[in-house]
Structure 1
Amino acid sequence: MPEMRLHDPRGDRLYLNAEERGAFLAAARWQSARDRTLCETLHWTGCRPSELIEVTPARVDLSVATIAIRSLKKRKDGAGRQKIVFRTVPVPPEFIDTLNTAHGIREAQRSRKKAVAPIWNLSRVRVWQIVKGVMIEAGIPDAPHRSPKGLRHGFGVHATVQGVPLHMLQRWLGHAQLSTTAIYADAVGREEQDIAARMWK
């Protein structure tokens, strides 16, 4: 399995910084309800597109503002069988309200059939295209970080900058190993330098 990193071999970053994440959210608010909530879910949870398209109304907890996401990375239990792992990620209550309004989550949860139907009935490729289009509208430069993966890495860096403990971030991102999550701590120094550079101007 290739080692996860936050910079490519040329040193270009592979994550969205705070300004780019803000611009992405602002651009997403001008999209259709479907595309807006899709982009905001990726932004607020750090999930992968393949995980996003499995989210159903039943996995949204409106009362505590969380979304349960099935980790799609293959894991084995003690007997060597593949196990299913869910992680619960907290999101802002205002976003849960938006999600409920746009997709009728509360109403869908009352129906056994609708509760288990995907909120976004799209392919992973289509999700990638939507996100990329919104990033272009947001003015994010044509660089390696302009991708859903860049958004996921941006979530990790932002959480670390905000002081989220690594073990909690590990759970939110669905990493099997804490050493994988620890790469976000290395990016904080670069992010802090960007902030300091703006302060010195």
Structure 2
Amino acid sequence: MTLYDPKGNRLYLNAEERAAFLHVARQRPARDRTLCETLHYTGCRPSELIEITPARIDLSGGAVTIRSLKKRKDRSGEQKAVYRAIPVPPDYLDTLNIAHGIRETQKSRKLAHVPIWALSRVRVWQIVKDVMIEAKIVDAGHRSPKGLRHGFGVNAVVKGIPLHMLQKWMGHAQLSTTTIYADAIGKEEQDIAAKMWG
């Protein structure tokens, strides 16, 4: 995994692009808005997003629990489920609750376990791409859900989140995978370096 394509072009959204993406997403209908905000605030993959149920939204604890879909095996070689709780902003949770009736839905044993977004990965990808086009994000390798996920990782490093915490939030099995986010350049690298200069 890398943050750059073979020609050296970045594969992550920078801070300005992330802000533009969020601005446009917030003007969309509730389903698309909350979908985009969830990807933005959790750094999850589209395949992980479409599995999120109301039962996995912790409104009082301020977190969204994601099932990591990368295959993991325990010591016996059996497939194991790995979950990660990602802290998210209260305003986002309020929007999610209002748009999808999370608190009420959690009271129903049946509905609490029905995915919030009944969409395919392809449809999620199309929604994200449409928002990115409207946000005037340049047509390049970073204009994708993966670019949004990578942007989440880079932003976390810039904001000083410890790599072991980011590893947990992103669902990486190895810390070495997470360390790629410390390789950000440009304004992101300047922001990181500014902490050393200040």
Map 1:53-132; keep pairs closer than 5 Å: 53-132=50-129
Distance (whole Å) between structure 2 residues aligned to residue 160 and residue 68 of structure 1 = 21
State TM-score, norm by structure 2: 0.95
Distance (whole Å) between structure 1 residues aligned to residue 190 and residue 108 of structure 2 = 50
Do residues 140 (structure 1) and 157 (structure 2) align? no
Match of 1:182 in 2: 179
How much identity, in percent, do the aligned residues show? 75
Deviations, residues 112-131 of structure 1 (Å, cap 9, x unaligned): 11100000000000000000
Please report how far the alpha carbon of residue 148 of structure 1 lies from its aligned counterpart in structure 2 after TM superposition.
0.1
Please report how far the alpha carbon of residue 137 of structure 1 lies from its aligned counterpart in structure 2 after TM superposition.
0.4
Distance (whole Å) between structure 1 residues aligned to residue 134 and residue 29 of structure 2 = 14
Please report how far the alpha carbon of residue 21 of structure 1 lies from its aligned counterpart in structure 2 after TM superposition.
0.1
Distance (whole Å) between structure 2 residues aligned to residue 177 and residue 191 of structure 1 = 23
Distance (whole Å) between structure 2 residues aligned to residue 113 and residue 16 of structure 1 = 37
Please report how far the alpha carbon of residue 192 of structure 1 lies from its aligned counterpart in structure 2 after TM superposition.
3.0
Match of 2:196 in 1: none
Match of 1:158 among 142, 155, 163: 155
Cα distance change on mapping 1:188 and 1:161 into 2, 3 Å: farther
Please report how far the alpha carbon of residue 78 of structure 1 lies from its aligned counterpart in structure 2 after TM superposition.
0.5
Please report how far the alpha carbon of residue 194 of structure 1 lies from its aligned counterpart in structure 2 after TM superposition.
8.4
Partner of 1:73: helix, strand, or coil? coil
The alignment's C-alpha RMSD in Å is: 1.4
Structure 1: gaps (5+ residues): 197-201
Please report how far the alpha carbon of residue 190 of structure 1 lies from its aligned counterpart in structure 2 after TM superposition.
5.7
Match of 2:6 in 1: 9
Structure 2: gaps (5+ residues): 194-198
Cα distance change on mapping 1:160 and 1:195 into 2, 3 Å: closer
The number of aligned residues is 193
Match of 1:192 among 174, 189, 192: 189
Please report how far the alpha carbon of residue 186 of structure 1 lies from its aligned counterpart in structure 2 after TM superposition.
1.2
Do residues 168 (structure 1) and 165 (structure 2) align? yes
Cα distance change on mapping 1:57 and 1:14 into 2, 3 Å: same
Please report how far the alpha carbon of residue 73 of structure 1 lies from its aligned counterpart in structure 2 after TM superposition.
0.2
Please report how far the alpha carbon of residue 65 of structure 1 lies from its aligned counterpart in structure 2 after TM superposition.
1.0
Please report how far the alpha carbon of residue 174 of structure 1 lies from its aligned counterpart in structure 2 after TM superposition.
0.1
Distance (whole Å) between structure 1 residues aligned to residue 100 and residue 122 of structure 2 = 21
